[in-house]
Structure 1
Amino acid sequence: MIKKIKKNRYTEVYALGQHICMSAHKARRVIDQIRGRSYEETMMILELMPYRACYPILKLVYSATANASHNMGFNEKNLVISKAEVNQSTTMKKLKPRARGRSFPIKRFTCSIIIVLRNISLNEEEYKRDQYTRLGLNKPGWITKEKYTDMTCYDMYNNGGLWDKK
């Protein structure tokens, strides 16, 4: 079962896979290899790794990319895996018949995997400017400090230096 979530409507897109039949430890060794990499590099790594956990993770990355391109209009070349988590989910328990009428418990571990893709074409200044306009400040250059009474001004003419206005 694959569930798709979209959290930050400006730069991030989520994909969530629940109740995947493998232990979280086995999925983590694959997730640790792809965290922080670009989409194209991730697809190559997942196709060439010999582990069984690669296929469901590959499906999740592909699903998150489809969400990003269809819902948000992002380009696949600008996507980076910013966050990838594996959490332990429910355990399926069965009984296996053994000798002399006894039973032996079998535990099938499941996990849930979260893949977060971030668009790196939108740089941080544009993202902060969008935040200021959403909050209604409309002055991205002026930043007030909470501890002090003076104001800090962003000087755009001298290579981005900061100076205090008292």
Structure 2
Amino acid sequence: MDTPVLEARAVQKHLRKAPRKVRLVADAVRGESVEKALKRLEFTNKASAEDVLKVIKSAAANLRDKFQEERFDNEDLYIKEIYVDEGVTLKRIQPAPQGRAHRINKRSCHITVLVAKRDQESVNE
């Protein structure tokens, strides 16, 4: 009666890329199957596509490791949740004319991916 929830997650913390730029890539693959997302990210012309790809692969591997008695293909798995949170911001100073100083914010982000097995009922519909 108690069936285990077939899902696993992976987190990449302190990635030195702005969260606004990484969210563009994450939004493109949200809700897709893992196989389709990996293919799409492979040909996406964004620097953060490689980082998102790595986290999705890690989440799929975590699911296979967590439930070793079951067999999972990438077509059976889908991205249930993917979100990009803001990390720490490194504050730097750029010298400016007339003794002033301009602030430079070097942003970072955290990528979280939750991968789950697709239900057979939702596949048939």
Tell me the TM-score range normalised by the shorter chain: 0.7 to 0.9
Cα deviation code 1:79-136 (max 9, x no counterpart):
1001111111221111233455543321111111110001125769xxxxxxxxxxxx
Specify which of 63, 78, 86 is matched with residue 80 of structure 1: 78
Gaps of 5+ in 1: 1-8, 125-166
Specify which of 64, 72, 75 is matched with residue 69 of structure 1: 64
Which residue in the other structure is 1:28 paired with? 23
Question: Is the 1:64–1:115 contact (alpha carbons within 8 Å) kept by the matching residues of 2?
Answer: yes
TM-score (norm 1): 0.62
Q: Of the two structures, which has the highest relative contact order with CA contacts closer than 8 Å and spacing of 6 or more?
A: 2
Q: Which has the larger radius of gyration?
A: 1
> Share of identical aligned residues, percent?
26
| Helix, strand or coil at the partner of 1:93 | strand
Structure 1 runs (4+) greater than 2 angstroms displaced: 96-104, 121-124
Query: CA–CA distance in 2 between the matches of 1:76 and 1:65?
Result: 9
TM-score (norm 2): 0.81
The within-5 A match list for 1:95-134 is 95-99=93-97, 102-120=100-118
